[in-house]
Amino acid sequence: MTETMPKTRAMAVIAVHKYEPAPYEQPDDGGPVLSRIHVEESFSGDINGDGVVEFLQAALADGSASFVGIERVAGTLAGRSGTFLLQDQGTVEASTVSGQWFVVPGSGTGHLLGLRGEGGFRANLGEGAQVHLDYWFE
């Protein structure tokens, strides 16, 4: 991105509709549990639509965790419809989930071709996440 590319901030709230964790490695020595987590959610606000994401997570016995994921969002942004991918990374600490994400370059379809951006999310466990995406079009 060049310094002359204007960014616009989109704000939204995510509501989770399906959360399906599946541990795939649970060490006997008490080390972190590795899980795949399938999530289906909806966005409302400046981003409006549905998302489906697969996370890989390492969870410690104290409830803290680190995760990464790729999400496909289908809906509208800035009055444009299409789909795009977000690559996520974040943590769970105490009762807070937070992280950062970016639009996977080249992933926009439909009227979202050329979408780029980065942002983040924050939520208390069990509540809707407050999210933002600072975006532009190439």
The CATH number of residue 81's host domain is: 2.40.350.10
Residue 10 lies in a domain: no
CA distance 112 to 75: 10
Residue 5 lies in a domain: no
Domain that residue 65 falls in? 15-137
Label residue 110 by pLDDT band (50, 70, 90): very high
Residue 6 lies in a domain: no
CA distance 133 to 93: 22
User: Is 1's pLDDT higher than 50?
Assistant: no
Quickly tell me which residue has 């959610």 as its tokens.
41
Residue 108 lies in a domain: yes
Q: How many CA atoms lie within 13 A of 76 on its CB side?
A: 7
Residue 2 lies in a domain: no
The pTM of the whole model exceeds 0.85: yes
What's the number of domains the chain is made of?
Answer: 1
Residue 9 lies in a domain: no
Average pLDDT over residues 24-51: 96
